Structure 1
């Protein structure tokens, strides 16, 4: 990715507790390096704790917006990092489903790990 590819674009990162840390931090840094503004969206407020694998707790990350308080129209793209606990919690949340659906309806890029 070149330095200016995402200049002026805001990219939502959708995650909750149990997100795989490296799958959150690596693309987050890539978005920043490309000039974009990464924003953490979660069904939870406050902060989320990542995981290193399925059993080891990782770092905590501050949540910028709760999924029910924002829409896809506010972002230029979406990244959905992996993690077993993360995916299980996100897939059943109605606010998350609505948020993600909006990106597809608006034909915006979605990256899922």
Structure 2
């Protein structure tokens, strides 16, 4: 059990490091309205490379995470995902399973495993 927690912590730290590097290379326009339009347009164009995760994302996550519905962080909005990732992957997976603020329990993915939720979160938080 301790090894699993250590692996998750290492994954999260690696993800935060990559996120910091990517964020510096992909700054959207500074105007808030243009920035939001840029991020939304980009979010609509992103999809996971893994076919199974892509199907799940398209069916259950994309409608909110590509439009910002219910204040969902946009896929690929690195600045918006960073403070969430800092809470830890376990918290994010738990929030996805139990629901959090505007997100319904299981994010409407009733068959998703915790591992699939983690894959979806990693994709949404780091996609470019």
TM over 0.5: no
Give the structure with the higher percent helix.
Answer: 2
Between structure 1 and structure 2, the one with the greater Rg is: 2
TM-score, length-normalised on structure 2? 0.26
Give the structure with the higher percent strand.
Answer: 1
TM-score, length-normalised on structure 1? 0.28
